Amino acid sequence: MSRQLPQINVSRRGLLKFGAGAIGTGVLTAGLSSNLLAVETKSAPDDLTPDKVLQELLDGNDRFVKARRRNPNQTKSRLVEIAKGQKPFASILGCADSRVPSEIVFDQGLGDLFVCRIAGNIATTQQIGSLEFGSLVLGTKVIMVVGHERCGAVEAAIKGASVPGRIGSLLEAIKPSVESSKDQSGDKLENACKANILAQIETLKSSTVLSELIKAEKLKIVGGYYDLDSGKISLVS
């Protein structure tokens, strides 16, 4: 797929419609939906849609699986180009697991993806805020929540592991998905991993910012499940 990234122009006037300091202190609150799309944007010449962006991600993963990576946008000139500003086309909420690096498994390059990573790919307040910024201000068209096979955080939540420090806060966030999937047939860990992906999608959709972008057909939120053995990402629904 030949693509050109969307050009985003966030004017001072547009941002002021959100209220002073909106970006730095919370990017909108309930009741501002009428101003939600006030940020001025300019579409790329091929007018990328969420569906086209999703296909670009899946095509890139297919190249990765088949060992046909193009390694796009990884040159010195690209580095210099994006030093002036970023225009990513998709956002990824992924697990911090070192085996699932987003730019590699989707065969993308510098400035292409806006990535948030956290153990268990959970949508914390801070992650949601980051993704709101990525979609509303930077113009990403898709948010993909990427969980993966044999996720250690999900497995620990299933086992009710006793953990030190603040690791337990991650497991607490995953436990509802473990509970909701416990009666499903099949592999318990895989079921819980996929249930956790879907739960995080619902959490993201509860964001006023993101839900308004979805209604305006400027954003799509989807789930992906990464197979550690093959490298393939399958959509989860």
The partner residues of 7 in beta bridges, in order of sequence, read 42
For residue 135, give the H/E element and its range: helix 125-136
Looking at this protein, which amino acid is placed at residue 210?
L
Q: Please tell me the distance from the alpha carbon of residue 115 to that of residue 93, in angstroms, as a whole number.
A: 6
- The answer to whether the predicted template modeling score (pTM) of the entire model surpasses 0.85 is no
Would you state the torsion angle of the CA atoms of residues 148, 154, 155, 160, taken in this order, to the nearest 10 degrees?
180
Distances (CA, A) of 118 to 22, 70, 92, 123: 25, 27, 11, 9
Task: Report the alpha-carbon distance of residue 146 to residue 100 in Å, rounded.
Answer: 9
Domain ranges of the chain: 49-236
Q: What is the pLDDT along the chain (237 residues), one digit of tens a residue?
A: 445 444 434 443 443 344 333 443 344 433 434 444 444 443 343 579 999 999 999 999 999 999 999 999 999 999 999 999 999 999 999 999 999 999 999 999 999 999 999 999 999 999 999 999 999 999 999 999 999 999 999 999 999 989 999 999 999 999 999 999 999 999 999 999 999 999 999 999 999 999 999 999 999 999 999 999 999 999 998
Backbone φ, ψ for residue 153 (5° rounding): -65, -40
Domain 49-236 = CATH 3.40.1050.10:
yes
